[in-house]
Chains A and B, each alone.
Chain A
């Protein structure tokens, strides 16, 4: 179900916990599975569950609790903009509106070319640098003015490899 590389990474995570508590590795395993597949399909979660010896529904609980796990397929780049209070005071709502009009999509939508998905995020712990945008869960961009947002979008549009 997952490729050998991912399984090796998951095994490494499992090794960090006592043998009878493999389920402790569930969050890491889901991250690894998502990195490979792009999102967590029910079959993927089923696989992780059986790999860790957990009830499938317990994996589903974890996956749905944290919003960095994608429960639906996303575009090539998932942009998550924080709309919590400090970011909001620093103009993240305007930044979000800018992104929406620039990309022509609303929150939880994907552009027609499959490049961008826009998500509303919760506090990322970088309030001092508000507003913040997270690209594909891994790269954080701070103090996102309209100009910086435009530059980010341009950069990602040109990125051939799909790497953020």
Chain B
């Protein structure tokens, strides 16, 4: 129980926010209307992705100095889990965009930069596939991961602010601040973020354990 409390918490929070997010009242804003509920499902994906990618950079730094295979596996599995959340973030965003902007993909700067930052991590995985030697693979991919992380931060948090975007929070569109005025949404949004981050971390630990078991199996 002491070890699994956060898994239970994550599951309960996600179930709660899914139900409450669909049923509880929301403020009625023009254009957004009921699609405002996507805030509970779309934004936490990005938070979970950022947390997982940060974990990956942390273990990449660690694996450069420790040279241990475990740290390398942790780094790659957190990237794998992070990519799942990144793709989910793109999909939830695209579905939302279909009903508010009229198109799944309208080449909005936010959409483009998010897609490019996911490309960065696909490049990381391809780099890993290109190298056969395990130690070299661990070293080179850790270096690329650390080198790419600041660029991802620029892509996701700095560049979209310099461009005109239709995304909420940009260019006069209602964003976090106006949602925050409504405490009903805050009651669901913050637990949703925490819940999805915990679920993401859980996915990553499971993937990591499967990989270590597979490695053990291969060595025997």
Answer yes or no: are A and B bound together in one complex.
no
- Measured CB to CB, the residues of A under 8 A from B are none
Interface positions of B (Cβ within 8 A of A): none
